[in-house]
């Protein structure tokens, strides 16, 4: 792996931080472009994304601290971001809540914005995970498979590829503009949580300590996402399906 991209004298450019920043930048560009595509306001975008990222970063660091307190000599080390140590799930959930609050203050249509946010998040996640792979953030199981790198499954790279695939499929569907606002968000959340859960089973320490708790949280999020989706969109989807079926049946009898 290559945790340091390059160094000049005392200056070092770390792959983890570089790709996280690059993912945030490109994800923000995707968010901006899709909001413009939907003719929604973007004047508040920079502040919203910046504050959300800062809060998500702090949230990821704090959750990591509470999960792995034995790695810290005192609480103040939680602010030593350069030493590494982030719990992605905590950052995602806290950042998501912060974004909802900021978006509410900006008075933007919630579900339309969440559709766009979910797509931009997948892009940022995919790019950031490349930095994780280069930094060896996640240790995969030992394997002799053709996809193995240095004898281990590349967990972060697999996660990156999965996010890109989901993004590509859902972006194509989104641009077709045939779904109710909010459906893309739920589909992306379900695909992301399910993918991350399955990918985590490939970790060397899967089933131990915080990894087990994290897997349980992902399972809960999958169930909650599905129930919310069906509560909000299920009856409408059933109605649409029945209307389509009845229309096709009527056309056949008319022939």
H or E element that contains 12: strand 11-14
Predicted local distance difference test score (pLDDT) of residue 120: 93
DSSP three-state, residue 118? helix
Predicted local distance difference test score (pLDDT) of residue 234: 59
Predicted local distance difference test score (pLDDT) of residue 162: 95
- Give me the residues of the chain with pLDDT under 70, please: 81-84, 207-209, 233-255
Q: How many residues does the chain have?
A: 255
DSSP three-state, residue 147? coil
Predicted local distance difference test score (pLDDT) of residue 84: 64
Instruction: Give me the residue spans of the domains in the chain.
Output: 123-245
- pTM, entire model: 0.83
Residues 123, 133: Cα–Cα separation, whole Å: 16
Tens digit of each residue's pLDDT (9 = 90 or more) over 152-209: 889 999 999 999 999 999 999 999 887 788 889 999 999 999 999 999 888 887 766 6
Estimate the share of the chain in helix, then strand, then coil, as percent rounded to the nearest 5.
Answer: 75, 5, 20
């Amino acid at each position: 792996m290559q945790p340091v991209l390059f160094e000049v004298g005392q200056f070092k450019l770390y792959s983890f931080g570089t790709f996280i920043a690059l993912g945030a930048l490109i994800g923000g560009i995707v968010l901006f472009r899709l909001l413009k595509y939907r003719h929604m306001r973007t004047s508040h975008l920079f502040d919203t994304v910046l504050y959300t990222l800062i809060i998500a970063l702090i949230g990821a660091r704090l959750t990591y601290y509470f999960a792995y307190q034995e790695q810290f000599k005192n609480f103040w080390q939680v602010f030593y971001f350069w030493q590494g140590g982030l719990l992605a799930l905590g950052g995602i959930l806290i950042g998501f809540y912060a974004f909802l609050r900021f978006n509410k203050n900006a008075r933007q249509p919630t579900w339309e914005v969440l559709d766009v946010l979910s797509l931009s998040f997948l892009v940022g996640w995919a790019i950031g995970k490349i930095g994780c792979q280069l930094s060896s953030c996640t240790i995969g199981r030992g394997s002799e498979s053709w996809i193995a790198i240095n004898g281990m499954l590349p967990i972060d790279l697999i996660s990156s590829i999965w996010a890109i695939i989901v993004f590509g499929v859902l972006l194509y569907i989104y641009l077709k503009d045939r779904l109710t606002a909010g459906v893309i968000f739920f589909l992306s959340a379900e695909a992301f949580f399910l993918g991350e859960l399955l990918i985590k089973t490939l970790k060397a320490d899967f089933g131990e300590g915080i990894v087990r708790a994290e897997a349980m949280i992902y399972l809960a999020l999958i169930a909650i996402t599905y129930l919310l989706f069906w509560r909000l969109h299920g009856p409408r989807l059933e109605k649409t399906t029945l209307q389509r079926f009845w229309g096709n049946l009527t056309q056949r009898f008319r022939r």
